[in-house]
Amino acid sequence: MTAAAKTGRALAEVRPSERQLAWQAMEFYGFLHFGMNTMTDREWGEGHDDPALFDPAGLDADQWVAALKSAGMTGVILTCKHHDGFCLWPSDVTAYSVASSPWRGGAGDVVAEVAEAARRHGLRFGIYLSPWDRTEASYGSGTAYDDFYVAQLTELLTRYGPVFSVWLDGANGEGPDGRRQFYDWERYYAVVREHQPDAVISVCGPDVRWCGNEAGDTRPDEWSVVPRALQDAERTADRSQQADDGSFARLVRSDDRDLGSRAALAGHEDDLVWYPAEVNTSIRPGWFHHPAEDAEVRTVDELFTVHQRAVGGNSCFLLNVPPAADGRLRAADVAVLEQLGRRIEDFRARRIEAATVTVSSGTAGDTATAWPGRGGAPWRPNATDPLPSVTLEFAGPRTVEAVAVGEDIAQGQRIEHLVIRGRLRDGRWTTLAEANAVGHQRFLTFRPAEVDAVRVEVPQARDTPVVARVAAIGAA
Protein backbone atom coordinates (compact mmCIF):
# COMPACT_ATOMS: atom_id res chain seq x y z
CA MET A 1 0.00 0.00 0.00
CA THR A 2 1.33 3.44 -0.91
CA ALA A 3 1.90 6.16 1.66
CA ALA A 4 -0.97 8.17 0.15
CA ALA A 5 -3.30 5.19 0.45
CA LYS A 6 -2.29 4.64 4.09
CA THR A 7 -2.93 8.30 4.85
CA GLY A 8 -6.31 8.16 3.13
CA ARG A 9 -7.34 5.08 5.06
CA ALA A 10 -6.29 6.70 8.33
CA LEU A 11 -8.40 9.76 7.54
CA ALA A 12 -11.39 7.56 6.72
CA GLU A 13 -11.06 5.79 10.08
CA VAL A 14 -12.08 8.94 11.96
CA ARG A 15 -15.79 8.37 12.65
CA PRO A 16 -18.71 10.24 14.24
CA SER A 17 -20.33 9.32 17.54
CA GLU A 18 -23.94 8.18 17.66
CA ARG A 19 -25.00 11.57 18.99
CA GLN A 20 -23.23 13.29 16.09
CA LEU A 21 -24.92 10.98 13.58
CA ALA A 22 -28.36 11.73 15.05
CA TRP A 23 -27.63 15.47 15.04
CA GLN A 24 -26.43 15.48 11.42
CA ALA A 25 -29.63 13.76 10.29
CA MET A 26 -31.67 16.66 11.72
CA GLU A 27 -30.22 18.97 9.02
CA PHE A 28 -32.31 22.09 9.80
CA TYR A 29 -33.52 23.51 13.11
CA GLY A 30 -34.34 26.83 14.72
CA PHE A 31 -33.00 29.30 17.24
CA LEU A 32 -35.31 31.41 19.41
CA HIS A 33 -33.56 34.48 20.82
CA PHE A 34 -35.94 35.82 23.44
CA GLY A 35 -35.53 37.38 26.89
CA MET A 36 -34.90 40.66 28.65
CA ASN A 37 -33.15 42.03 25.55
CA THR A 38 -36.44 41.64 23.70
CA MET A 39 -38.10 43.95 26.20
CA THR A 40 -35.31 46.56 26.24
CA ASP A 41 -34.69 46.51 22.46
CA ARG A 42 -31.05 45.50 22.94
CA GLU A 43 -28.74 42.85 21.50
CA TRP A 44 -26.40 42.65 24.48
CA GLY A 45 -28.09 43.71 27.69
CA GLU A 46 -25.88 45.04 30.45
CA GLY A 47 -27.64 43.10 33.20
CA HIS A 48 -29.60 44.32 36.22
CA ASP A 49 -32.62 45.46 34.20
CA ASP A 50 -35.76 45.49 36.30
CA PRO A 51 -37.50 42.08 36.06
CA ALA A 52 -40.79 44.01 35.94
CA LEU A 53 -39.91 44.82 32.31
CA PHE A 54 -40.46 41.17 31.36
CA ASP A 55 -44.18 40.72 30.74
CA PRO A 56 -44.89 39.19 27.28
CA ALA A 57 -48.64 39.00 27.73
CA GLY A 58 -49.31 37.19 24.46
CA LEU A 59 -46.53 34.61 24.70
CA ASP A 60 -47.51 31.66 22.51
CA ALA A 61 -44.85 28.94 22.33
CA ASP A 62 -47.07 26.87 20.06
CA GLN A 63 -47.07 29.70 17.51
CA TRP A 64 -43.28 29.84 17.64
CA VAL A 65 -42.78 26.12 17.20
CA ALA A 66 -45.49 25.72 14.54
CA ALA A 67 -43.85 28.46 12.48
CA LEU A 68 -40.46 26.75 12.69
CA LYS A 69 -42.01 23.42 11.75
CA SER A 70 -43.68 25.00 8.71
CA ALA A 71 -40.19 25.79 7.39
CA GLY A 72 -39.21 22.12 7.64
CA MET A 73 -37.24 22.43 10.85
CA THR A 74 -36.72 19.40 13.08
CA GLY A 75 -35.75 21.06 16.35
CA VAL A 76 -35.62 24.31 18.33
CA ILE A 77 -32.98 25.82 20.61
CA LEU A 78 -34.10 28.46 23.14
CA THR A 79 -31.87 31.15 24.66
CA CYS A 80 -32.67 30.15 28.23
CA LYS A 81 -30.22 32.78 29.50
CA HIS A 82 -28.33 35.35 27.43
CA HIS A 83 -25.33 37.44 28.46
CA ASP A 84 -27.47 39.80 30.58
CA GLY A 85 -28.12 36.94 33.02
CA PHE A 86 -31.93 37.00 33.02
CA CYS A 87 -33.26 33.44 33.25
CA LEU A 88 -36.35 32.32 31.32
CA TRP A 89 -36.99 29.66 33.96
CA PRO A 90 -37.28 29.94 37.77
CA SER A 91 -33.70 29.13 38.72
CA ASP A 92 -32.95 28.09 42.28
CA VAL A 93 -29.63 29.97 42.36
CA THR A 94 -30.65 33.49 41.29
CA ALA A 95 -33.60 35.80 41.77
CA TYR A 96 -32.94 37.38 38.38
CA SER A 97 -35.50 35.32 36.48
CA VAL A 98 -39.10 35.05 35.34
CA ALA A 99 -40.01 34.26 38.96
CA SER A 100 -39.37 37.92 39.80
CA SER A 101 -41.38 39.23 36.86
CA PRO A 102 -45.10 39.99 36.56
CA TRP A 103 -45.46 37.54 33.67
CA ARG A 104 -47.81 34.67 34.59
CA GLY A 105 -47.96 36.20 38.09
CA GLY A 106 -44.33 35.19 38.69
CA ALA A 107 -45.22 31.52 38.19
CA GLY A 108 -44.25 31.28 34.52
CA ASP A 109 -41.52 29.21 32.88
CA VAL A 110 -40.68 29.99 29.25
CA VAL A 111 -38.33 27.02 29.01
CA ALA A 112 -41.09 24.63 30.04
CA GLU A 113 -43.59 26.16 27.63
CA VAL A 114 -41.19 25.89 24.66
CA ALA A 115 -40.06 22.37 25.57
CA GLU A 116 -43.67 21.20 25.83
CA ALA A 117 -44.65 22.94 22.59
CA ALA A 118 -41.73 21.30 20.81
CA ARG A 119 -42.89 17.88 21.99
CA ARG A 120 -46.47 18.59 20.88
CA HIS A 121 -45.28 19.49 17.38
CA GLY A 122 -42.73 16.69 17.07
CA LEU A 123 -39.60 18.86 17.25
CA ARG A 124 -36.54 18.15 19.38
CA PHE A 125 -35.62 20.66 22.09
CA GLY A 126 -32.25 22.27 22.79
CA ILE A 127 -30.88 24.84 25.22
CA TYR A 128 -28.60 27.87 24.99
CA LEU A 129 -27.06 28.93 28.29
CA SER A 130 -24.60 31.80 27.99
CA PRO A 131 -21.42 31.22 30.00
CA TRP A 132 -21.05 34.99 30.22
CA ASP A 133 -23.33 36.52 32.88
CA ARG A 134 -23.37 40.30 33.38
CA THR A 135 -25.61 40.16 36.48
CA GLU A 136 -24.23 37.33 38.61
CA ALA A 137 -21.89 38.72 41.28
CA SER A 138 -19.65 35.64 41.28
CA TYR A 139 -18.77 36.04 37.59
CA GLY A 140 -15.00 36.38 37.31
CA SER A 141 -14.31 34.69 40.64
CA GLY A 142 -13.32 31.30 39.23
CA THR A 143 -14.73 28.19 40.91
CA ALA A 144 -17.60 30.02 42.62
CA TYR A 145 -19.00 31.09 39.27
CA ASP A 146 -18.41 27.66 37.77
CA ASP A 147 -20.48 26.24 40.64
CA PHE A 148 -23.24 28.73 39.83
CA TYR A 149 -23.15 27.96 36.12
CA VAL A 150 -23.14 24.19 36.68
CA ALA A 151 -26.15 24.54 38.99
CA GLN A 152 -28.09 26.35 36.25
CA LEU A 153 -26.93 23.92 33.59
CA THR A 154 -28.07 21.01 35.78
CA GLU A 155 -31.50 22.59 36.24
CA LEU A 156 -31.98 22.89 32.49
CA LEU A 157 -30.72 19.37 31.81
CA THR A 158 -32.89 17.66 34.42
CA ARG A 159 -36.22 19.49 34.40
CA TYR A 160 -37.34 19.67 30.77
CA GLY A 161 -37.02 16.24 29.21
CA PRO A 162 -34.64 15.15 26.42
CA VAL A 163 -32.25 17.77 25.06
CA PHE A 164 -30.63 17.36 21.64
CA SER A 165 -28.19 20.29 21.80
CA VAL A 166 -26.43 22.35 24.47
CA TRP A 167 -25.30 25.48 22.65
CA LEU A 168 -22.37 27.19 24.39
CA ASP A 169 -21.71 30.71 23.11
CA GLY A 170 -18.18 32.07 22.85
CA ALA A 171 -19.16 35.74 23.00
CA ASN A 172 -17.57 37.84 25.75
CA GLY A 173 -17.59 41.60 25.69
CA GLU A 174 -16.14 42.48 29.09
CA GLY A 175 -13.05 43.95 27.46
CA PRO A 176 -9.51 44.32 28.88
CA ASP A 177 -10.70 46.13 32.01
CA GLY A 178 -13.76 43.98 32.64
CA ARG A 179 -14.32 40.88 34.72
CA ARG A 180 -12.63 37.81 33.28
CA GLN A 181 -13.87 34.30 33.96
CA PHE A 182 -11.83 31.29 32.83
CA TYR A 183 -14.56 28.74 32.22
CA ASP A 184 -14.11 25.16 33.36
CA TRP A 185 -15.26 23.76 30.01
CA GLU A 186 -14.41 20.15 30.84
CA ARG A 187 -16.57 20.32 33.95
CA TYR A 188 -19.46 21.74 31.93
CA TYR A 189 -19.09 18.97 29.35
CA ALA A 190 -19.09 16.30 32.06
CA VAL A 191 -22.38 17.62 33.45
CA VAL A 192 -23.98 17.44 30.00
CA ARG A 193 -22.70 13.90 29.43
CA GLU A 194 -24.03 12.83 32.84
CA HIS A 195 -27.55 14.17 32.44
CA GLN A 196 -28.10 14.24 28.66
CA PRO A 197 -25.65 11.76 27.07
CA ASP A 198 -27.41 11.97 23.69
CA ALA A 199 -27.05 15.77 23.44
CA VAL A 200 -24.40 17.33 21.24
CA ILE A 201 -22.38 20.15 22.79
CA SER A 202 -22.11 22.85 20.16
CA VAL A 203 -19.76 25.73 19.28
CA CYS A 204 -17.64 25.97 22.47
CA GLY A 205 -17.96 22.22 22.72
CA PRO A 206 -16.49 18.99 21.34
CA ASP A 207 -19.37 17.75 19.15
CA VAL A 208 -20.45 20.46 16.70
CA ARG A 209 -18.20 23.12 15.18
CA TRP A 210 -19.24 26.72 14.53
CA CYS A 211 -18.90 27.52 10.83
CA GLY A 212 -16.95 30.65 11.75
CA ASN A 213 -19.44 33.42 10.89
CA GLU A 214 -23.00 34.50 11.61
CA ALA A 215 -23.82 35.56 8.05
CA GLY A 216 -24.88 32.13 6.82
CA ASP A 217 -21.78 31.88 4.65
CA THR A 218 -20.55 28.39 3.76
CA ARG A 219 -17.20 26.99 2.68
CA PRO A 220 -16.63 25.64 -0.85
CA ASP A 221 -15.92 22.25 0.76
CA GLU A 222 -16.89 21.38 4.32
CA TRP A 223 -14.94 18.55 5.95
CA SER A 224 -15.97 16.83 9.16
CA VAL A 225 -12.50 15.38 9.85
CA VAL A 226 -10.33 18.25 11.12
CA PRO A 227 -7.39 18.87 13.47
CA ARG A 228 -8.24 18.39 17.15
CA ALA A 229 -7.03 21.93 17.84
CA LEU A 230 -10.27 23.25 16.36
CA GLN A 231 -12.12 21.82 19.38
CA ASP A 232 -10.35 24.32 21.66
CA ALA A 233 -13.19 26.31 23.20
CA GLU A 234 -10.94 29.27 23.94
CA ARG A 235 -9.96 29.44 20.25
CA THR A 236 -13.64 29.57 19.34
CA ALA A 237 -14.30 32.21 21.99
CA ASP A 238 -11.45 34.36 20.68
CA ARG A 239 -13.02 34.29 17.21
CA SER A 240 -16.55 34.98 18.50
CA GLN A 241 -18.22 38.35 18.90
CA GLN A 242 -16.36 40.65 21.28
CA ALA A 243 -18.47 43.82 21.11
CA ASP A 244 -22.11 44.73 20.52
CA ASP A 245 -21.36 46.86 17.46
CA GLY A 246 -23.72 45.33 14.88
CA SER A 247 -21.02 44.49 12.33
CA PHE A 248 -20.17 40.96 13.44
CA ALA A 249 -23.46 39.46 12.17
CA ARG A 250 -22.34 39.81 8.55
CA LEU A 251 -18.58 39.36 8.98
CA VAL A 252 -17.02 36.59 6.89
CA ARG A 253 -13.33 35.75 7.29
CA SER A 254 -11.24 34.34 4.45
CA ASP A 255 -8.48 32.75 6.53
CA ASP A 256 -10.15 29.41 7.25
CA ARG A 257 -11.79 28.36 3.97
CA ASP A 258 -10.09 24.95 3.91
CA LEU A 259 -10.06 23.03 7.18
CA GLY A 260 -9.96 19.41 6.06
CA SER A 261 -8.38 18.69 2.69
CA ARG A 262 -5.29 16.50 2.68
CA ALA A 263 -3.17 19.63 2.29
CA ALA A 264 -4.84 21.28 5.29
CA LEU A 265 -4.42 18.14 7.42
CA ALA A 266 -0.75 17.63 6.57
CA GLY A 267 1.16 17.37 9.82
CA HIS A 268 -1.98 16.73 11.87
CA GLU A 269 -2.70 13.17 10.72
CA ASP A 270 -2.13 11.69 14.17
CA ASP A 271 -4.43 14.11 16.01
CA LEU A 272 -7.71 14.36 14.12
CA VAL A 273 -11.34 14.41 15.28
CA TRP A 274 -14.81 14.21 13.78
CA TYR A 275 -16.06 17.77 14.30
CA PRO A 276 -18.84 18.66 11.83
CA ALA A 277 -20.02 22.18 11.05
CA GLU A 278 -23.17 24.10 11.89
CA VAL A 279 -24.14 27.16 9.84
CA ASN A 280 -26.00 29.72 11.94
CA THR A 281 -27.60 33.02 11.00
CA SER A 282 -30.69 35.11 11.78
CA ILE A 283 -33.78 35.80 9.73
CA ARG A 284 -33.26 39.48 10.63
CA PRO A 285 -30.20 41.74 10.99
CA GLY A 286 -30.22 41.19 14.76
CA TRP A 287 -30.59 38.09 16.88
CA PHE A 288 -33.27 39.58 19.13
CA HIS A 289 -36.45 41.20 17.84
CA HIS A 290 -36.28 44.94 17.20
CA PRO A 291 -39.34 46.80 15.87
CA ALA A 292 -37.08 48.91 13.64
CA GLU A 293 -36.12 45.73 11.75
CA ASP A 294 -39.65 44.57 10.97
CA ALA A 295 -39.15 45.54 7.33
CA GLU A 296 -35.76 43.80 7.11
CA VAL A 297 -36.77 40.15 7.27
CA ARG A 298 -34.61 38.17 4.85
CA THR A 299 -36.28 36.96 1.68
CA VAL A 300 -37.22 33.38 1.01
CA ASP A 301 -34.77 33.36 -1.92
CA GLU A 302 -31.87 34.31 0.35
CA LEU A 303 -32.80 31.82 3.07
CA PHE A 304 -33.36 29.02 0.56
CA THR A 305 -29.88 29.65 -0.85
CA VAL A 306 -28.35 29.42 2.63
CA HIS A 307 -30.33 26.25 3.31
CA GLN A 308 -29.16 24.60 0.10
CA ARG A 309 -25.52 25.48 0.69
CA ALA A 310 -25.58 24.45 4.35
CA VAL A 311 -27.80 21.35 4.34
CA GLY A 312 -26.44 20.54 0.88
CA GLY A 313 -22.87 21.23 1.98
CA ASN A 314 -22.27 18.72 4.80
CA SER A 315 -23.49 21.10 7.52
CA CYS A 316 -26.60 21.59 9.60
CA PHE A 317 -28.48 24.89 9.34
CA LEU A 318 -29.50 26.80 12.48
CA LEU A 319 -31.84 29.70 11.64
CA ASN A 320 -32.77 32.23 14.31
CA VAL A 321 -36.34 33.59 14.41
CA PRO A 322 -36.88 36.06 17.29
CA PRO A 323 -40.27 36.55 18.95
CA ALA A 324 -41.35 40.13 19.71
CA ALA A 325 -41.93 41.74 23.11
CA ASP A 326 -45.60 40.71 23.14
CA GLY A 327 -44.50 37.07 22.98
CA ARG A 328 -45.43 36.36 19.36
CA LEU A 329 -43.57 36.05 16.08
CA ARG A 330 -44.30 38.81 13.60
CA ALA A 331 -46.41 37.97 10.55
CA ALA A 332 -43.57 38.75 8.14
CA ASP A 333 -41.28 36.16 9.77
CA VAL A 334 -44.05 33.55 9.85
CA ALA A 335 -44.84 34.13 6.17
CA VAL A 336 -41.23 33.74 5.06
CA LEU A 337 -40.87 30.55 7.07
CA GLU A 338 -43.95 29.07 5.40
CA GLN A 339 -42.58 30.06 1.97
CA LEU A 340 -39.22 28.52 2.82
CA GLY A 341 -40.86 25.25 3.81
CA ARG A 342 -42.72 25.13 0.51
CA ARG A 343 -39.51 25.82 -1.44
CA ILE A 344 -37.69 23.02 0.34
CA GLU A 345 -40.56 20.59 -0.23
CA ASP A 346 -40.76 21.59 -3.90
CA PHE A 347 -37.05 20.92 -4.33
CA ARG A 348 -37.42 17.46 -2.80
CA ALA A 349 -40.55 16.71 -4.82
CA ARG A 350 -38.64 17.30 -8.05
CA ARG A 351 -36.56 14.16 -7.58
CA ILE A 352 -36.57 12.20 -10.84
CA GLU A 353 -37.30 8.50 -10.49
CA ALA A 354 -34.69 6.32 -12.18
CA ALA A 355 -35.97 3.66 -14.57
CA THR A 356 -32.75 1.68 -14.04
CA VAL A 357 -29.76 1.99 -11.73
CA THR A 358 -26.37 0.54 -12.64
CA VAL A 359 -23.11 0.62 -10.71
CA SER A 360 -19.54 0.07 -11.84
CA SER A 361 -19.11 -2.68 -9.24
CA GLY A 362 -20.82 -3.96 -6.11
CA THR A 363 -24.55 -3.65 -5.47
CA ALA A 364 -26.51 -0.40 -5.76
CA GLY A 365 -28.59 -1.08 -2.66
CA ASP A 366 -31.05 1.69 -1.77
CA THR A 367 -28.92 4.59 -2.99
CA ALA A 368 -31.37 5.72 -5.69
CA THR A 369 -34.42 5.74 -3.40
CA ALA A 370 -32.93 7.00 -0.13
CA TRP A 371 -33.33 10.75 -0.65
CA PRO A 372 -34.62 12.68 1.14
CA GLY A 373 -33.78 10.43 4.05
CA ARG A 374 -31.60 7.41 4.38
CA GLY A 375 -31.94 3.91 2.99
CA GLY A 376 -30.90 0.71 4.63
CA ALA A 377 -28.28 -0.52 2.14
CA PRO A 378 -25.62 1.91 0.87
CA TRP A 379 -23.54 1.30 -2.24
CA ARG A 380 -19.96 0.16 -1.70
CA PRO A 381 -17.97 -0.52 -4.89
CA ASN A 382 -15.25 -3.13 -5.01
CA ALA A 383 -11.97 -1.98 -3.51
CA THR A 384 -10.28 -2.61 -6.87
CA ASP A 385 -12.78 -0.52 -8.88
CA PRO A 386 -10.63 2.05 -10.81
CA LEU A 387 -13.50 4.55 -11.23
CA PRO A 388 -16.47 3.92 -8.95
CA SER A 389 -19.68 5.20 -10.51
CA VAL A 390 -23.44 4.91 -10.23
CA THR A 391 -25.70 5.69 -13.18
CA LEU A 392 -29.35 6.70 -13.01
CA GLU A 393 -31.15 6.15 -16.31
CA PHE A 394 -34.53 7.81 -16.86
CA ALA A 395 -37.48 6.61 -18.92
CA GLY A 396 -36.78 9.44 -21.36
CA PRO A 397 -35.03 12.83 -21.60
CA ARG A 398 -35.47 14.99 -18.52
CA THR A 399 -34.29 18.49 -17.66
CA VAL A 400 -32.01 18.18 -14.62
CA GLU A 401 -30.58 21.06 -12.57
CA ALA A 402 -29.14 19.41 -9.46
CA VAL A 403 -27.87 16.14 -8.04
CA ALA A 404 -27.87 15.16 -4.37
CA VAL A 405 -25.18 12.79 -3.13
CA GLY A 406 -24.62 11.55 0.41
CA GLU A 407 -22.09 9.27 2.05
CA ASP A 408 -22.79 6.79 4.82
CA ILE A 409 -20.83 8.88 7.31
CA ALA A 410 -21.02 6.15 9.94
CA GLN A 411 -18.13 4.80 7.81
CA GLY A 412 -16.33 8.15 7.79
CA GLN A 413 -15.98 10.90 5.20
CA ARG A 414 -14.26 9.28 2.25
CA ILE A 415 -15.00 11.02 -1.04
CA GLU A 416 -12.40 13.60 -2.06
CA HIS A 417 -13.57 14.36 -5.59
CA LEU A 418 -16.88 13.87 -7.34
CA VAL A 419 -17.88 14.35 -10.98
CA ILE A 420 -21.48 14.54 -12.25
CA ARG A 421 -22.04 13.70 -15.91
CA GLY A 422 -25.18 13.74 -18.03
CA ARG A 423 -25.94 11.78 -21.21
CA LEU A 424 -27.17 13.91 -24.08
CA ARG A 425 -29.62 12.89 -26.84
CA ASP A 426 -26.75 11.89 -29.14
CA GLY A 427 -25.31 9.54 -26.51
CA ARG A 428 -22.36 11.75 -25.56
CA TRP A 429 -21.59 12.28 -21.87
CA THR A 430 -21.04 15.86 -20.70
CA THR A 431 -19.72 17.11 -17.36
CA LEU A 432 -22.42 18.90 -15.38
CA ALA A 433 -20.66 19.59 -12.08
CA GLU A 434 -17.69 18.68 -9.89
CA ALA A 435 -17.01 18.94 -6.16
CA ASN A 436 -14.58 17.71 -3.54
CA ALA A 437 -16.05 17.12 -0.07
CA VAL A 438 -19.38 15.28 0.20
CA GLY A 439 -19.98 13.92 3.71
CA HIS A 440 -23.56 13.60 4.95
CA GLN A 441 -24.95 15.35 1.90
CA ARG A 442 -23.87 17.46 -1.05
CA PHE A 443 -26.14 19.30 -3.48
CA LEU A 444 -24.47 20.02 -6.81
CA THR A 445 -26.42 22.53 -8.87
CA PHE A 446 -25.76 23.47 -12.47
CA ARG A 447 -27.28 25.04 -15.56
CA PRO A 448 -30.39 23.00 -16.47
CA ALA A 449 -29.51 20.25 -18.95
CA GLU A 450 -31.72 17.87 -20.90
CA VAL A 451 -30.31 14.36 -20.39
CA ASP A 452 -31.66 10.82 -20.25
CA ALA A 453 -29.14 9.61 -17.65
CA VAL A 454 -26.95 10.96 -14.87
CA ARG A 455 -23.70 9.36 -13.76
CA VAL A 456 -21.95 10.06 -10.47
CA GLU A 457 -18.23 9.26 -10.60
CA VAL A 458 -15.79 9.13 -7.68
CA PRO A 459 -12.29 9.51 -9.15
CA GLN A 460 -10.67 10.24 -5.78
CA ALA A 461 -11.42 8.92 -2.30
CA ARG A 462 -9.62 8.38 1.00
CA ASP A 463 -10.83 4.79 1.09
CA THR A 464 -13.45 2.78 -0.75
CA PRO A 465 -16.46 5.14 -0.90
CA VAL A 466 -19.70 4.17 0.84
CA VAL A 467 -22.57 6.08 -0.80
CA ALA A 468 -25.92 6.30 0.99
CA ARG A 469 -27.93 8.31 -1.55
CA VAL A 470 -27.88 9.62 -5.10
CA ALA A 471 -30.76 11.62 -6.55
CA ALA A 472 -31.31 13.72 -9.66
CA ILE A 473 -33.49 16.81 -9.23
CA GLY A 474 -35.49 18.20 -12.14
CA ALA A 475 -35.69 21.83 -13.13
CA ALA A 476 -38.37 23.98 -11.54
Q: Supply the pLDDT for residue 175.
A: 67
Q: Which residue, 364, 415, 55, 93, is CA-closest to 225?
A: 415
3-state secondary structure of 113: helix
Distance of CA 310 to CAs 169, 173, 279, 378, 416, Å? Answer: 20, 29, 6, 23, 18
Distance of CA 284 to CAs 8, 145, 340, Å? Answer: 42, 33, 15
Contacts (Cβ under 8 Å, ≥6 apart) of 48: 96, 134, 135
Asked if residues 279 and 202 have their Cβ atoms less than 8 Å apart, the reply is: no
CA pair distance 11, 463, nearest whole angstrom:
8
Claim: this prediction has a pTM higher than 0.85: yes
CATH number for 3-349: choose from 3.30.110.30, 3.20.20.80, 3.30.565.10, 3.65.10.10: 3.20.20.80
What angle in degrees, to the nearest 10, is found between the helix axes of 300-311 and 331-349? 50
Q: Supply the pLDDT for residue 119.
A: 98
3-state secondary structure of 23: helix
Q: Supply the pLDDT for residue 373.
A: 81
* CATH number at 356-474: 2.60.120.260
Question: pLDDT truncated to tens, each residue of the chain (476 aa)?
Answer: 788 888 899 999 999 999 999 999 999 999 999 999 999 999 999 999 999 999 999 999 999 999 999 999 999 999 999 999 999 999 999 999 999 999 999 999 999 999 999 999 999 999 999 999 999 999 999 999 999 999 999 999 999 999 999 999 977 767 666 888 889 999 999 999 999 999 999 999 999 999 888 888 889 999 999 999 999 887 676 654 445 555 444 433 445 789 999 999 998 888 999 999 999 999 999 999 999 999 999 999 999 999 999 999 999 999 999 999 999 999 999 999 999 999 999 999 999 999 999 999 999 999 999 999 878 899 999 999 999 999 999 999 999 999 999 999 999 999 999 999 999 999 999 999 999 999 999 999 999 999 999 999 999 999 999 999 999 999 99
Topology match between the domains 3-349 and 356-474: no
Q: Establish how many alpha carbons lie within 13 A of residue 394's alpha carbon, considering only the half-sphere containing its beta carbon.
A: 22
Domain ranges of the chain: 3-349, 356-474
